[in-house]
Amino acid sequence: MATKEIQGLSDQDLMEKIAAEKADLNKMTLNHTISPAENPSKIRINRRNIARMLTEVNNRKNAAK
């Protein structure tokens, strides 16, 4: 997910997207421990997307101060 897309989301949508991505990451990690994933780099990409979204949340909080 690109930074422009993340910035275009509302606060509520952003929080929902973070929750969904975290659940997906948890599922992918669990499945990867049981049997190797076809493309383990998807786990890294998912982690980075979560970090991008959390950074945007923090930027919005700091801008509101």
Q: How far apart are CA 47 and CA 43, in angstroms?
A: 6
Tell me how far apart the alpha carbons of residues 59 and 44 are, in angstroms, rounded to a whole number: 22
pLDDT 10s digit of each residue in the chain, 65 long?
A: 888 999 999 999 999 999 999 999 999 999 999 999 889 999 999 999 999 999 999 999 999 88
**Cα-based distances in Å from 8 to 5, 28, 45, 59, 61:** 5, 27, 20, 13, 16
- In this prediction the pTM is 0.90
3-state secondary structure of 2: coil
Q: Scan for tokens 């493309």, then name that residue.
A: 39
pLDDT of residue 38: 87
